[in-house]
Amino acid sequence: MTARLAVFGNPVEHSRSPLIHEAFGKQAGIDLHYEKVLVNDGDFEREASEFMKLGIGFNITVPFKSAAWQFVDHCSDKAAQAQAVNTIFRDSRGILTGDNTDGEGLVRDLVCNLGWEIESKHLLVLGGGGAVSGVLGDLLEAGPSSIDLLNRTHEKATILAQRFGDPRLRSIEKNSLAAGYDLIINGTSAGLSGEVVDLPAHIVGDQTCCYDMIYGDSTTSFNHWCLKQASCQVSDGLGMLVEQAGLAFRIWFGIDVNTTRVIKLLREQL
């Protein structure tokens, strides 16, 4: 029987999740159909309930990760801390369950694919929305010395930092940013709108690694700005997209897949 899967979001037409999971399905010898579901505001619960009558699970992208967290009957500790769910499935008891694979997907891309270090490093994370809340827990587990959190609304970043209750994580004002962070992660959507980066140049040094969680067929505006400040290393978030999808695939089917092959496939198609 064909396994029915989907990604819920708005917008969702641009999503490469169907291509990724169909590639995983071929690797694993699983017959699956993965669709894109455009969800209107206020319709998430109805659409999700209807889909799960026949579907085995689905992914969630912006802006419904918080709604997905509220929708499920049970969720992982990671998703509860993030207050965001990106993968829904029924557990062995048939209970509607949510998990969040974003953070582990990001760390896998940073450490395994890019060879960048997190342990004992000083990090700067930009943003305070669902994209950031979903990755902070895994970043902290990776053992950094510190994570500075900068958001346009300082109060929102402070509330988010307090939720994790880790002294290494603190919200910070722009005028207090340090020089030459080891790793800077952009979790804002500014690059999608072509918004100009408004940050002090000293945060980027020649040894800084700069990561934009969005991706595209050319260097993102954030990474372009970083390269203008110093001879740093940069990467977009395509690897994170594939890694978090691989973790979701394992949740649904109990099978580990080759993500490197799929990252290469997507790069060739951008």
Strand ranges, E, within 132-187: 146-150, 169-171, 183-186
* Distance, CA of 54 to CA of 180 (rounded, Å): 51
* Distance, CA of 72 to CA of 50 (rounded, Å): 14
Where in the sequence numbering do the catalytic residues fall?
A: 65
* Distance, CA of 49 to CA of 236 (rounded, Å): 34
Q: Which two tokens stand for residue 93?
A: 């008891």
| Residues whose CB falls within 8 Å of the CB of residue 115, separated by 6 or more in sequence, listed in order | none
- Residues counted in the chain: 270
CB 39 within 8 A of CB 8: yes
